[in-house]
C-alpha cells in the first residue's frame, strides 16, 4: 500500500541525508507494446532534504551542493506526486557536524536558478 504524498515527508527534518525513489518518464527505443507496458522508469537520488515547495505542483527539494559564503543551495526538484519512497540515511542531528550550513536551514531556503541567458539570480523556496 502506497503512502499519501504528504506522509512521505512528514517527520523528516530539513538537513537529513535522504535517498529518494521516484517514477519518471524515459526515452527508451523499443516496440510500441513495450512502451505501453512500461512507460516509466524507477529513479533514485540522494542529497539533503530541504523541504517541499511549489504553489501548483509540490516539489521535493533535494540539496546537492551549497555556496558557503552565500548559503545558496543547488537542488534537484522532484514532483512529490511521483515519489515512491524516501529513506533517511543520516538524520539531521548527525549531519549538522559535517555540513555547517544545515544549522541555518529555516523555513525559507535560498535556491540557485538560471534563466535562458545563463544569468544567475536567486529565488526563495518556502
pTM for the whole structure: 0.73
Q: Which of 20-34, 76-90, 101-115 has the highest mean pLDDT?
A: 76-90
Q: What is the per-residue pLDDT across 38-50, written as a single tens digit (0 to 9) for each?
A: 667 889 999 999 9
Domain ranges (residues) in the chain: 5-125
pLDDT for res 108: 62
Q: What is the 3-class SS of the chain, one letter each residue?
A: CCCCHHHHHCCCCCCCEEEEEEEEECCCCCCHHHHHHCCEEEEEEEEEEEEEECCCCCEEEEEEEEECCCCEEEEEEEEHHHEEEEEEEECHHHHCCCCHHHHHCCCCEEEEEECCCCCEEEEEEC
Give the span between the Cα atoms of 79 and 35, in whole angstroms. Answer: 22
pLDDT at 76 over 70: yes
Amino acid at each position: 500500500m502506497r503512502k499519501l504524498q504528504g506522509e512521505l515527508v512528514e517527520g523528516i527534518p530539513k538537513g537529513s541525508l535522504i535517498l529518494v525513489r521516484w517514477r519518471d518518464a524515459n526515452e527508451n527505443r523499443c516496440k510500441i507494446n513495450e512502451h505501453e507496458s512500461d512507460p516509466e522508469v524507477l529513479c533514485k537520488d540522494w542529497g539533503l532534504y530541504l523541504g517541499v515547495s511549489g504553489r501548483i505542483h509540490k516539489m521535493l527539494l533535494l540539496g546537492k551542493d551549497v555556496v558557503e559564503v552565500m548559503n545558496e543551495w543547488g537542488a534537484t526538484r522532484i514532483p512529490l506526486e511521483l515519489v515512491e519512497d524516501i529513506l533517511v540515511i543520516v538524520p539531521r542531528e548527525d549531519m549538522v557536524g559535517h555540513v555547517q550550513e544545515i544549522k541555518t536551514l529555516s523555513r525559507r531556503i535560498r535556491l540557485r536558478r538560471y534563466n535562458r541567458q545563463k544569468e544567475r539570480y536567486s529565488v526563495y523556496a518556502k
